[in-house]
Amino acid sequence: MTKLCVLSFGTAVSYAQVSTAQDSIVRPPVQLDEVLVEGKSKTDPVFSMFKSEPEKKVVQSKNVADLFRDINGFALIKRGNYAIDPSFRASQYEQLNVQFNGGTKVMHACPNRMDPITTHVIPEEIERVEVVKGPYTFRYGPTFGGIVNLVTQEVERQEKGYHGKVNFGGENNGNAITTFANVKYVQEDLDVNFNAGYRDFGNYEDGNGNEVPSSFKSTDYGVQLGYNPNENQRIQVGFRQSFGRDVLHAGLPMDTKEDNSNVLSLDYKLDGLSGDIRALSAKLYRSKVDHIMSNELRPSYNSTEAVSEVDATTLGGRMELEWRPVQNLKLYTGIDALSVGRIGNRTRLVKRNMNGDLLPMPMEFVDEVWQDAQIDDYGAFVEGKYPISEKFLINIGVRYDLVRSKADAPAEDFVALYPDLEARTENNISATASFKYMVDSNLLFELAFGRGVRSANMIERYINHFTVGQDAYEYVGNPYLDAEVNNQFELGMKANSHFGGYVFNGLDYGASVYYSIYENYIVAIIDPSLDKKYMPMVQPTEVKRFANLDQAYKTGFEVFAQLDFLKDFSFKTELSYVYAKNKDLDESLPLTPPLVSRFNLRFEKEKMWARATYTLTSKQSDIASSFGETETDGYGIVDLSFGAKPFQHFTVGVAATNLFDVAYHNHLNFSFVNQADYGRVPINDPGRNLTAFVQYSF
């Protein structure tokens, strides 16, 4: 894979040396393929959206996943206050193609996802969050449920010279503090960007006044260097490191002692070419996560000491050509690669027998966590956009993925379960076709079909008797799983109207409805033929094995409307709903969020802004009983925030989240595990939280 990526980049540089278009017109800086969604109907992917509000986020996010909290259709999977994963339309984990800057990935090392991709970047670094709502483009890797692209600062487009910012924030619920500093230097041909952040969060209290083990500390820094050899080219190198320490996970059996990650990326873009080829882009990256977790602070430590040291290494790259073979046809062709390797063991020191009696001599056991597994994905894609008429745009794309998987150090019982275990190769074909009809500048209709294919991830293939779900079952992987397929259909519209009156200024509204037919959907099901490996007398004694479902589907909708009035005010309402069905077991698919309604009243001027939000989450009674889910009550939460720029370079803000101190938990929250003061009940979210924020920019 590394040779493939180096060859791709070498081809890019060689082509740049001989094929740059001669153009004396002054051009804007070359923009890397970091931004997928620009807010332009004719070029953006179908059913896409973005959120960009970097300085007015006056409530400090715990990690990047909290940036999704106010985006319609998203929910959060919480195991505490640190390990938070986004879920979109009941798709999560590897079902979502989550990446940085148009392709860079950081894969977790922990099988319980204590360290998801969202923990390896500073939230203040993120300038915008972009979403493609389904398998409607395959230029950025295999996509099953959608693309989430986290875009950091585009330094090359900022003002020339030195500038930056420093901010500080605090929260009373958990006595949290956050700090962030950024310095950048920008010139015509060179730019440098450096940032660093530190976070220290204590345990928070829920609405009932109960303390939830959730404290953590994290330190991050990153540096980015960009160079423009001429007006048509850009080369950019980025490096960042993140260090998590003493992270408590209320919903997981162990806590994080250390989590260290680093990401190195290299991007290249050649633009403004003449002839059939108009642009060339390339990316290479490497990320590594070293993770240490233990049960030292848990009740189980008295009988068994457990420490796991696991590593994940991710290598990847992509190269893309943009063509104009005929007038008005934009054609994209490219190749990409992603390689994920994980290693690590769990060491257990058993001090007591099954009756609770101390052993005369503790017994040590070493368990393979990942079985030295590796998954490589090599992909090729072709995608084209063509305006059939001035108002009608069609997009068609197809993608091929060759997926290779293997386990170099399988455990003996895993080999006994799969005696023919060996390296496996899969061939996946994904395709999409979508249409945009622009009635006029104020009304857009969209129709799309996408067939997204996802091969099983490493947990689903190779986990061996570990508890990795929301329930207490041991899970066993299945290396022979078929790739799951999402056949998604979607119809939607967006419209806006502008009024001349003083009272009402404008109205934006839109809606989309979708239906997905799943093939080979992957879930874990109790397998009576398997025996529990660890603590076999403790309930539950059954074991789950990952398997493919024969019949499953998903359907839902999103609706929004925003009314602007009195020039500086707006009122926005949003609804999102998803219904997912496992027809094999006649129950819901797991991790399906309930109906969510959100109402926002906003006031905004250049130097002052305020927002009141009421989020109403309905009861969830459509549950996956086989996944350990229980019905979740509905709740309503009120949040208030206020920000201002009292002086030229200063920004201040205060906020109150969960203003009325409601005790609640979201349906996707994990339950307490291995905690001295709690049974296995869902983790409540934080109660009332007052925050303050100050920023100085220069």
How far, in Å, are 564, 565, 608 from residue 505 at the CA level?
5, 5, 19
Residue 90 has pLDDT above 90, yes or no: yes
Q: What is the pLDDT of residue 558?
A: 98
Strands (E) located in 371-459: 373-387, 392-407, 424-440, 443-454
pLDDT tier, 10 (very low <50, low <70, confident <90, very high otherwise)? very low
Locus of tokens 């209709």 = 445
pTM comes to 0.91
Structure tokens at 637: 């939460």
Longest dimension (CA), the chain: 86
pLDDT tens-digit readout, 125-145: 888 889 999 999 999 999 999
Which positions ≥6 away from 400 have C-beta within 8 Å? 379, 380, 381, 427, 428, 429, 430
Of 627 and 258, more confident: 258
Q: What is the pLDDT of residue 62?
A: 60
| Range(s) of the domain holding residue 398 | 2-697
Q: Which of 53-57, 452-456, 535-539, 662-666 has the lowest mean pLDDT?
A: 53-57
Q: What is the pLDDT of residue 55?
A: 52
Residue 146 has pLDDT above 60, yes or no: yes
Mean pLDDT of the chain: 91
Which helix (DSSP H) or strand (DSSP E) does residue 7 occupy?
Answer: helix 2-19
**CB distance 60 to 153 below 8 Å:** no
pLDDT tier, 657 (very low <50, low <70, confident <90, very high otherwise)? very high
Q: What is the pLDDT of residue 6?
A: 35
pLDDT tens-digit readout, 235-278: 999 999 999 999 999 999 999 999 999 999 999 999 988 889 99
How far, in Å, are 138, 320, 343, 359, 551 from residue 337 at the CA level?
13, 12, 20, 51, 31
Q: Is the peptide bond before 111 cis (omega within 30 degrees of 0)?
A: no
State percent of the chain over pLDDT 90. Answer: 79
Question: Region 506-534: what's the mean pLDDT?
Answer: 96
**CB distance 97 to 116 below 8 Å:** no
Q: Where are the alpha helices (DSSP H) in 429-477?
A: 458-462
CATH code of the domain in which 90 resides? 2.40.170.20
Q: Provide the domain count of the chain.
A: 1
Q: Which of 4-18, 445-459, 573-587 has the lowest mean pLDDT?
A: 4-18
Residue 411 has pLDDT above 70, yes or no: yes
Which positions ≥6 away from 520 have C-beta within 8 Å? 481, 482, 483, 484, 485, 548, 549
Structure tokens at 526: 């109790």
What is the Cα–Cα distance from 249 to 471, expressed in whole angstroms?
15
Which residue in 237, 231, 236, 333 sits closest to 273, CA to CA?
A: 231
Question: Region 424-431: what's the mean pLDDT?
Answer: 98
Q: What is the pLDDT of residue 59?
A: 52
pLDDT tier, 63 (very low <50, low <70, confident <90, very high otherwise)? low
What is the Cα–Cα distance from 124 to 64, expressed in whole angstroms?
9
Q: What is the pLDDT of residue 61?
A: 64
**CB distance 294 to 325 below 8 Å:** no
Q: What is the pLDDT of residue 29?
A: 65
Which residue in 545, 552, 543 sits closest to 590, CA to CA?
A: 552
Which positions ≥6 away from 646 have C-beta within 8 Å? 607, 652
**CB distance 182 to 193 below 8 Å:** yes
Residue 391 has pLDDT above 70, yes or no: yes
Q: What is the pLDDT of residue 216?
A: 96
pLDDT tens-digit readout, 540-588: 999 999 999 999 999 999 999 999 999 999 999 999 999 999 999 999 9
Q: What is the pLDDT of residue 474?
A: 95
**CB distance 541 to 527 below 8 Å:** no
